[in-house]
Amino acid sequence: MKDIMVYDEAHYFDVGTSETPDIELGGVITELTESSNPTEQEKQYIHQKSKITKTTGYSNEFPITMDMVKGDKVFENFYEKFYLRKTGNDLNIDHYIVNLWENETEANTYKARKITQTVSITECNGAAGDQKQITGSLKGGDFVYGTFNTSTKTFTPNV
């Protein structure tokens, strides 16, 4: 048995363009929580005392807090979206969630998920004498399951 620590899950983001991908490790993230936010439907038939709950979908959301560090490509990408008040597809980013505790047969290759999400940075804050931070959420998207090679920074979907 092994405790799985926060650092055993790596979060990579494609901060490049569709023509020139640039997949970077989210290095200055201080907090990131995965919330599935299930969509549920309740139904009760006349012969039942209790309702039945069915999950009909998910509204994936990852609340995030990042330190503001000049030179970190992921921070700079997220901050630019906030600063320029971008909208629509300009807010999308490919997010790779890599389970570093689940190594596949190939070296440096791990079980992973890819999800295209909307970056929604809502605050830029900091108290006197503290480092500034940005906070918000990565929202939406469906997962593609596969593997991620941390050396080549490539995602291979399951067949």
Q: Reduce the secondary structure of the chain to three states and give it as a string.
A: CCCCCHHHEEEEEECCCCCCCCEEECCCEEEECCECCEEEEEECCCCCCCCEEEEEEECCEEEEEEECCCCCHHHHHHHHHHHCCCCHHHHEEEEEEEEEEEECCCCCEEEEEEEEEEEEEEEEECCCCCCCEEEEEEECCCCEEEEEECCCCEEEECC
Topology (CATH level 3) of domain 6-157: Elongation Factor Tu (Ef-tu); domain 3 (2.40.30)
* b/e code 44-82 from CB counts within 10 Å (16+ = b): eeeeeeeeeeeeeeeebbbbbbbbbeeebbbbbbbbebb
What are the structural domain ranges in the chain? 6-157
Distance separating alpha carbons of residues 140 and 70, to the nearest angstrom:
28
For residue 152, give the nearest of 115, 117, 108, 112 by alpha carbon.
108
Q: Note the pLDDT tens digit of each residue in 18-73.
A: 899 999 999 899 999 999 999 999 999 999 999 999 999 999 999 999 999 999 99
For residue 2, give the nearest of 97, 99, 98 by alpha carbon.
99
Q: Note the pLDDT tens digit of each residue in 103-116.
A: 877 899 999 999 99
Model-level pTM?
0.91
Q: Note the pLDDT tens digit of each residue in 91-143.
A: 999 999 999 999 877 899 999 999 999 999 999 998 899 999 999 999 999 99
Type of residue numbered 107: A
